[in-house]
Structure 1
């Protein structure tokens, strides 16, 4: 896996990442740090990536179990250390999984498997942050 980051000087502190798969991602800083608030902060992008990674796992695990999942939403709330390096110290993930006849045990198991085994991003962030999860199921 690779990624190339390029600073965009005309945009203050904006950065453009080109991923190994050829996609572009723009990041920016807060105005008090020289940014112009034109895009997500790098740490927001890191948190979003972890959320995407674990939500992907949960949907895939449920689909492979032949469960009729129709939607998955994930709200992440994170706290960071007060001083540099301001690593994540706590992350809470609340899943809202929708579908037809989704068993509680299957949803809980999918979240646990992602959190404990499959999601590289959350396993890595778990080295500095206490990660907790909760979920609710919405029948459709």
Structure 2
């Protein structure tokens, strides 16, 4: 990946398209937004794959991500709380909980930050 400076922030060309990153969200995605998005979407994608392999049919997954940052330490991300809202029929709560734990262990993004950012997962079922 190569990032080129622009007046405010940086840009890069990726397979899907051009990505603009800047500290000011009027000029691009903020770096912390991309980090949280990477962790949430990676986790959700791994969870979706696990549920499919377990033959647990779902209709939808929505992930709500709440972030705690520490202003005293360069505004770093200290905690990300991922709350999954999983929609489907006759969803087995215990198997969903086990699947979320397995997704955590197999998500490369969560594992990349495991010793520096606390990642907490909760879920609710819409049946």
Instruction: Sort the TM-score into its range (normalised by shorter chain).
Output: 0.7 to 0.9
Could you report, residue by residue, the CA deviation over 1:10-66 in whole angstroms, capped at 9, with x for unpaired residues? xx22x22334xx233222222xxxxx6132201111110111100001111101111
- 1:76-95 matches, within 5 Å, as 76-95=65-84
Structure 1 equivalent of residue 21 of structure 2? 27
Q: Is the 8 A contact 1:69 1:99 kept in 2?
A: yes
2:106 alignment partner, one of 104, 118, 126: 118
- Higher RCO (CA 8 Å, separation ≥ 6 residues): 2
Q: Is the 8 A contact 1:87 1:128 kept in 2?
A: no
Structure 1 equivalent of residue 117 of structure 2? 129
- Tell me, what secondary structure is at the counterpart of 2:88? strand
How big is the shift at 1:114? 1.3
Distance (Å, rounded) in 2 between the aligned partners of 1:4 and 1:110: 36
Structure 2: unaligned runs, 5 residues or longer = none
How big is the shift at 1:101? 1.6
Structure 2 equivalent of residue 69 of structure 1? 58
Question: Is 121-130 or 68-77 further displaced after alignment?
Answer: 121-130
1:16 alignment partner, one of 5, 11, 19: 11
What RMSD, in angstroms, separates the aligned Cα atoms of the two structures? 1.7
- Output the TM-score relative to the length of structure 1: 0.80
Q: Is the 8 A contact 1:95 1:135 kept in 2?
A: yes
Structure 2 equivalent of residue 100 of structure 1? 89
- Tell me, what secondary structure is at the counterpart of 2:13? strand
- Tell me, what secondary structure is at the counterpart of 1:124? helix
How big is the shift at 1:84? 4.4
Distance (Å, rounded) in 2 between the aligned partners of 1:125 and 1:5: 23
